[in-house]
A and B are shown apart, each in its own frame.
Chain A
């Protein structure tokens, strides 16, 4: 295009573009990569669905904790040590025999970092974001989760500061399990709502 004749024709590889802006910000004294590496490592290794699974397992074995979790999720989750950025306004929505909940962020990628970690790739992609609010039952069925017609599907679009965690129904056949054993049963996808346990 004539207006862009002074720009190179060939797109720079993504790694070269990352290196370019990184070098600018380091030279300007804005970015200290070594200092931030610890933050990145924390997010990558300490935040994840294993934390949300602890919350769910506790709610399954402790009715008073479950009550607190549904009334004030932020405080109840914080009590287990899973507070922090992108978890300041937590809401837990409960699946029941009559209701199935599904979480999406149509505008970007909002997600409860302390309890689920960084979002998986598909959660951020256009197909999921476009379809979750338009045809959730069909979408779930395609993803292997058939929600019967008499079960209401409640979609939660995280368009503001609230971050959502689905409390799945405790699966049959887990009566004898300990809280630790139950936590292993809980999956990331069940806490987003794209899977029923």
Chain B
């Protein structure tokens, strides 16, 4: 989904508040949220579904809350969706409002065929499909429809888009695809800057035979 989490390229953010502090948890509640996530088997084991539970957060809530509050909201949303509790029960226990994520509007992709033999090799020109699905995907908005070059053939893994929506293990080769900054951002791109994005084979189409207008 074109959610608030899909942040690549969005303008308007200020400086990165870079901190040399390497402590993974800023407060004890963050450590407890981490424990919730890693310790709650049925809620945490499907990583794509967990990620999608966070992507469905209200955008204003997402941008105004610390990272581990995203995890908390995702775990609580999944607990409600699994029938383990209700929002009312959580609010009674917490003694106040407990915002959850929006409903899952994702649909299982039609193609559920597993693939394991890479179709592309390093140097091949590809174009990313432009389909903006309503559910979970690992194709960031900023590369959909863009043309790039296969830079690495990584291996074969489960397709997140399918796993997230209950389709189980369906595999695909995945690649690092190189895009020039100007392909992604037009005149606003930077010279001598390239961006590599890891993409599943089913996100890609061969670009070599494209007509001149890119259709």
Interface contact B140-A43, CB-CB below 8 Å: no
B63 at the interface (CB under 8 A from A): yes
- A22-52, CB under 8 A of B: which get 1 and which 0? 1111001011110111011001100011000
The contact size tier of chain B is 35 or more
Most chain A CB inside 10 Å of its own CB: which residue of B15, B17, B40, B72: B40
Cβ 8 A contact of B16, one of A12, A118, A143 = A143
**Cβ–Cβ contact A20 & B196, under 8 A:** no
| Residue in B24, B40, B43, B66 whose beta carbon sits within 8 Å of that of A44 in the complex | B24
- 1/0 contact trace for A105-133 toward B, CB 8 Å? 01111000000011011101111111101
CB pair B91–A157 under 8 Å, yes or no, is no
Contact B138 A152 (CB under 8 A): no
Binds B, one of A56-64, A76-84, A158-166, A173-181: A158-166
Q: What residues of A have a CB within 8 angstroms of the CB of B36 in the complex? A: 18, 21-22, 25, 31
A30 touching B72 by the CB < 8 A rule? no
**In the complex, what residues of A have CB within 8 A of residue B40's CB?**
25, 30-31
CA A25 to CA B143, docked complex, whole Å: 39
Are A11 and B99 in contact, CB atoms less than 8 angstroms apart?
Answer: yes
B residues in contact with A6, CB < 8 Å? 88
A162 cross-chain contacts in B, Cβ below 8 A: 154, 174, 176, 198
The distance in angstroms between the C-alpha atoms of A36 and B39, with both chains bound, is 6
A residues contacting the other copy or chain, number (CB 8 A): 78
* Chain B residues positioned under 8 Å from A22 (CB to CB): 32, 36
Does A172 lie at the interface of the complex (its beta carbon under 8 Å from any beta carbon of B)? no
Per-residue 0/1 for B93-114: is the Cβ within 8 Å of any A Cβ (1 yes, 0 no)?
1111111000000000000000
CB of A181, distance to nearest CB on chain B (Å): 21
By the criterion CB–CB under 8 Å, are B198 and A161 in contact? yes
Cβ of B185 under 8 Å from chain A: yes
Q: How far is the CA of A40 from the CA of B33 in the complex (A)?
A: 11
Selected contact of B35 from candidates A40, A124, A125, A160, CB within 8 Å: A40
User: In whole angstroms, what is the CA distance A121 to B69 when docked?
Assistant: 13
**Interface pair A17/B196, CB less than 8 Å apart:** no
- Evaluate whether A32 and B39 lie within 8 angstroms (CB atoms) in the complex, with A17-B72, A18-B29 already known: yes
Give me 18 A-to-B residue pairs in the complex whose CB atoms sit less than 8 angstroms apart, sorted by A's number. Answer: A6-B88, A8-B97, A11-B97, A11-B99, A30-B43, A89-B154, A106-B140, A107-B6, A125-B16, A130-B8, A130-B9, A130-B13, A133-B8, A133-B195, A134-B11, A135-B190, A159-B199, A162-B174
Q: Which residues of B contact A (CB under 8 A)?
A: 5-11, 13-19, 21-22, 24-26, 29, 31-36, 38-43, 51, 54, 63, 66-67, 69, 72, 75-76, 79, 84-85, 87-91, 93-99, 138-140, 142, 152, 154-155, 157, 160, 174, 176, 184-185, 188, 190-200
Nearest 5 pairs of A and B residues by beta carbon: A12-B96, A36-B39, A106-B8, A12-B94, A160-B198
